[in-house]
Structures are given as structure tokens and as C-alpha cells.
Amino acid sequence: MGDHVTEIVIFTFLFLLVSAMGFFAARWRSPDDMAHLDEWGLGGRSFGGWITWFLIGGDLYTAYTFVAVPALIFGAGATGFFAVPYTVIIYPLVFLVLIRLWSVSHRHGFVTPADFVRTRFGSPTLALIVAITGIVATMPYIALQLVGIEAVLKTMGVTGESALARHLPIIIAFAILAAYTYQSGLRAPALIAFVKDTLIYIVILVAILYVPYKLGGWGSIFDAADAKFKGTPATTDGLLLNANNQIYYISLALGSALALFLYPHSITGVLASRNRDVIKRNMSALPAYSLLLGLIALLGFMAIKSGVKPLPGATQGTVDGNTVVPLLFDQQFPDWFAGIAYAAIGIGALVPAAIMSIAAANLFTRNIYKEYLKRDASPQQEAGVSKITSLVVKLGALAFVVFVNPQYAIDLQLIGGVIILQTLPSVALGLYTRWFHRGALIAGWLAGMALGMWMLYEIPNAASKRAHFGGSAFPLSKFGFDTRWTIYVGLVSVAVNLLVAVLLTLILRAARVPEGIDGTTPDDYFADEGDPRVQPIAATVPGQAAAEEDRRRTTA
């Protein structure tokens, strides 16, 4: 690792700096009592529009953007560009949905999507399913962040031969992350997000201006990519889409867009907004990020032009495509700037990993622990359980890294998407209609999840020759169609989920099975800042909301 000393020193310095900030964050905006879920998990509900914007931006622009998408572009070309239509269609798609969610949550004091489902459909079982789905779906997404950090460390030569040595640096990095998340809760990523975004903007601007200039302009970069894809025997790559992967491309963009705001961590960011207008404004402003995302994606082509050879993968004969962007930086930047760029990627992976694990932990505490295990839990116990759960979720993410080894890291996020999409009928459609029967929603979830898991199981990894869980592009020929088209598993499974839910709703209604009580009224979906709440929650006193909740639950 001799020739990477400068990079390692700068990376380590910045990493330790933000870690120190992470521990210090516990004192930021001095909470009265950190041993409380409201403080630990929601930053005292005191974040304004700007911090919320950073938090939501942080959810979107992660190792996914910096490592996984360029790696897919490098390996497969045009297909990887689906991230651009994905991040374009998502905002108009959720524009009207999220403000309804915000309103009904504001009125009832909901913190998680499971809270909403419980009240809307009068079904603790459905709420439990939504909570578990959210927690499990978050794990592969966190795993993707781990993979991103690992790619950087590997490029700097911080790796080893044995399985333990290979994963040791990342385990240490994650232990530090876990420690300060445990200590400071949501305040840690919120504070670090500022450093992260500053570093990332600097690196992006330099990368998309300086690297193409050094490589001889955009035209020659695309030409080099075209030449590479024409020279490979594979039929799924190319500078453009071909007849076989257009459906996959469309289904990926649409499926990813439908999935994103069902994740617990995205919803946390939205619910922290001050009012409906803030959300609408953010939905108009956030796409500005998409432009950067598109240009970062093209780093994959720059790596082709630059002649980057990815480092070897975990198994014999495979390559680790995730290392292409770090290697490109290593080739094109002076050592000191490469060190900064690596720190940006590493920290850019840590922040969302922290937010995701906190959101998943909140879900567990509110909708599983308090609902089923200990109804009279004190606020201290709640916060304690959340802290421990955030550790467990990170361990789950590590398990995904070890056991699910897709050809492209992006498939970790896409597998998470397959899982979380199964909550679409009850959460997203539930915001619009109470037509579905709660029993039918549960059955639809079962059908969609079973089909999704089977389809994922059936997909082989073309690179490592493993037969199962190798990606998210399902060949339609396995359904018996005479075609080479592939489709994103998530979109198929959620369609089946919906179909089952519709059919069973008709049947259950005909059989007059009780439908449960809808705890919301149509007006709740339009409530805005200043409108009365069902529960008199004083937002000015941090912690009181949860205290109200405790009182209500224990007396109910």
C-alpha cells in the first residue's frame, strides 16, 4: 500500500474528523434528555426546512450514486442510466401523495408508515407487516453503503487475502458509525451531512469538469465506451438500449421511483417538514440533484476511456466493478485530492447508513416493541431499544453483503426495492382510498413477497456463476414467454400483490368479513400547519408528543 499513503492519511483524517463530530452531535442543540426516542430518533422534531432538505438529499445521494450507478454504466452502458429517469419521475409521482401523508401524520402524530396503516385500516397485523417489511428492506440498502466504503478502502490497498482481513476495515468503520449513532442518534448524520455535502459538491464539480477535459472531451469518452461495448460478446450492454432491455429499463425507473418514498428513512425526512408548502417546494427543488447524479453516472464511461481495470472480486475470475470510480480518481487526480474524493464517498455512505438504521430502529420500537412486547415501556426503555435495534439492523446489512453477492452492487438496492414495494397498496394507495379490505392487503402482500422472492432466487449471477440471487432482471422466458426480454422483479411482484388485493377485497366484502374501523376522516388528508391535531401535541416542547403517546396508550 506504499503508493497510497497520502490518500490514506487524508481519508483517515477526514473520517476521524466526522466521527468526532458524530460524537459531539449529542450536545448539538442541547437536548434535555437523550434517553428519549423523540430526541434520539427524531432530533427532537426540531429540524427546519434546510436540514430536512439535506437529510432527504442525503438519502438519495449515497454510495448508490457514487459507486453503484457508475459501476453499472461501466459494465453495462445505457441500462445504468435508468437512474436519471428514475430521479426525474419520482418527484411529480409523489408530489401529491406525500402532502397527503404529511397531513394525516400531522393530524394524528404518526411517525412511521406503519402508524398510518394501523389507524387507517384498523389492523395491528397489517401494521406489523408494514413495519417488518420496512426494517428488512432497509438492510440491503445499508449493505450497498457498506460495499461503497469497501470499494474505496480496497482501492487504497486497505484489504487482505482472507475473508476476515478483507472485511476488517469495513467492520471497524461500521463499528465507529454504530458507536456514534448509538450515542447521538439522528443528530449525528444531520450534523455530518453538512460536511458530507460540501465535500461531495467539490469532488463532483472537479470530476465532471476536469476529468473530461483531461480525457479529451465528452465526445471521445462516449466513443471509447461505444467501442468497448461493441467489442464484448454480451447482449445486454451498449451505448444505447437494445430490443431486449428496454422493458427492463422502463420497469427499473418506474419501480425504483415507486419504492423510494416507501422506505422508512425517506418518510422520516418528509414528516420532519414544517408544512405542506415546504414539501411541494422541495419536490420542485430536489431534481436539481438529478443533474449531478446523471453526470456522476457518466464517470463510468470516463473510467472506460481512462482505461481503468477494476480490481479483482471476492471470488476467482470475477472483477469488482465497484472499484472503477475510486480507481478513476486514483488515475486522474493528484494523491491529495483523491484522498478527499475517497473521504467524500466514504462519508457519503456513512450518513445515509446512519439515517436508514435509525429509521428502521424507530419502526421496530414504535410498531413492534411497544405494540407487542412491552406496551408500558418508558421513554428511556424505548430509546434504549431503538439504539440496540440500530445495531442489529447494521448486522443484518453485513449479512446481506456476505450472503447476497450480485454482479452489480446496485442490485442490493433493487432487492430492497422489491421488498419495500409490497407495502405500496396499503401505504401509498391507502392514502387515497379505503376501498381495499385489510385481509386482502395482507394476502396481497404475501403473494407479492412470495413471488418476488422466488423470482430473485431464480436469477443467476452471470459473472460469478452463482445460480441464485444474482440480480433483479428477471428473464420473461422463465414465465414461458418466447422472448429475451427482462423485467424488474419489483414491478411484477407488486402488480400481482395488487391483483390479489383487489380480488380478495371483492370476495371478503361479499362474505361480509369485518373491515375494521378507519380512524381517519377525508379532511385529515388536507390538514396543514396550524390546523388542530387529533391529539393536542405541543411541538414546541420536545418529547411531549411521545409523552402524550405513552399516556394515551397506557390508558387505552
**Amino acid (one-letter) located at 476:** L
Separation between Cα atoms, residue 494 and residue 517, nearest integer Å? 25
**The one among 20, 201, 210, 220 contacting another protein by CB under 8 A:** 220
Separation between Cα atoms, residue 379 and residue 372, nearest integer Å? 16
- Whether the CB-CB separation of 19 and 161 falls below 8 Å is answered with no
Cβ neighbours of residue 450 closer than 8 Å, sequence gap 6 or more: none
Q: Is 15 left (phi over 0), alpha (psi -120 to 50) or beta?
A: alpha
Radius of gyration of the chain (CA): 23
DSSP code string of 202-214: HHHHHHHHHHHHH
Q: Residue 89, interface with another protein (CB under 8 A)? A: yes
Q: Residue 526, interface with another protein (CB under 8 A)? A: yes
Is the C-alpha dihedral spanning 372, 373, 377, 381 positive or negative?
Answer: negative
Separation between Cα atoms, residue 196 and residue 145, nearest integer Å? 14
Separation between Cα atoms, residue 381 and residue 421, nearest integer Å? 31
Q: Quick one: 164 or 556, whose CB is closer to another protein?
A: 556
- Whether the CB-CB separation of 481 and 470 falls below 8 Å is answered with no
**Of the listed pieces 30-38, 202-210, 283-291, 398-406, which binds another protein according to CB under 8 A?**
283-291
Residue bearing cell 416542547: 541
Q: Residue 438, interface with another protein (CB under 8 A)? A: no
Q: Quick one: 228 or 280, whose CB is closer to another protein?
A: 280
Q: Quick one: 82 or 180, whose CB is closer to another protein?
A: 82
**The one among 15, 66, 91, 116 contacting another protein by CB under 8 A:** 91
Q: Residue 367, interface with another protein (CB under 8 A)? A: no
**The one among 30, 161, 164, 288 contacting another protein by CB under 8 A:** 288
Q: Residue 294, interface with another protein (CB under 8 A)? A: yes
Q: Cell numbers for 180, please give them.
A: 456514534
Question: Minimal distance in Å, beta carbon 344 to another protein?
Answer: 22
Cβ neighbours of residue 222 closer than 8 Å, sequence gap 6 or more: 239, 301
Q: Quick one: 14 or 204, whose CB is closer to another protein?
A: 204
Q: How many other C-beta atoms lie within 10 A of the C-beta of residue 372?
A: 11
**Of the listed pieces 48-56, 187-195, 233-241, 350-358, which binds another protein according to CB under 8 A?**
233-241
Q: Distance between terminal CA atoms of the chain?
A: 62
**The one among 1, 5, 9, 96 contacting another protein by CB under 8 A:** 96
Name residues contacting another protein, limited to 160-219 (CB under 8 A): 217-219
Question: Minimal distance in Å, beta carbon 491 to another protein?
Answer: 12
Question: Minimal distance in Å, beta carbon 277 to another protein?
Answer: 7
Separation between Cα atoms, residue 257 and residue 353, nearest integer Å? 20
**The one among 376, 482, 532, 540 contacting another protein by CB under 8 A:** 532
Q: Residue 122, interface with another protein (CB under 8 A)? A: yes
List the beta bridge partners of residue 483. Answer: none
Q: Quick one: 249 or 445, whose CB is closer to another protein?
A: 249
Q: Quick one: 315 or 521, whose CB is closer to another protein?
A: 521
Question: Minimal distance in Å, beta carbon 36 to another protein?
Answer: 21
Q: Residue 284, interface with another protein (CB under 8 A)? A: yes
SS (H, E, C) 351-387: HHHHHHHHHHHHHHHHHHHHHHHCCCCCHHHHHHHHH
**Of the listed pieces 27-35, 154-162, 234-242, 327-335, which binds another protein according to CB under 8 A?**
234-242
Question: Minimal distance in Å, beta carbon 147 to another protein?
Answer: 26
Binders of another protein: how many residues, by CB under 8 A?
62
**The one among 176, 534, 539, 547 contacting another protein by CB under 8 A:** 534
Length of the chain: 556
Q: Quick one: 200 or 293, whose CB is closer to another protein?
A: 293
**Residue ranges that bind another protein, judged by CB under 8 A:** 78, 81, 84-85, 87-89, 91-93, 95-96, 99-100, 108, 118-119, 122, 124, 217-222, 239-241, 246, 249-250, 253-254, 277, 280-281, 283-285, 287-288, 290-291, 294-295, 298, 516-517, 519, 521-523, 525-526, 532-536, 552-553, 556
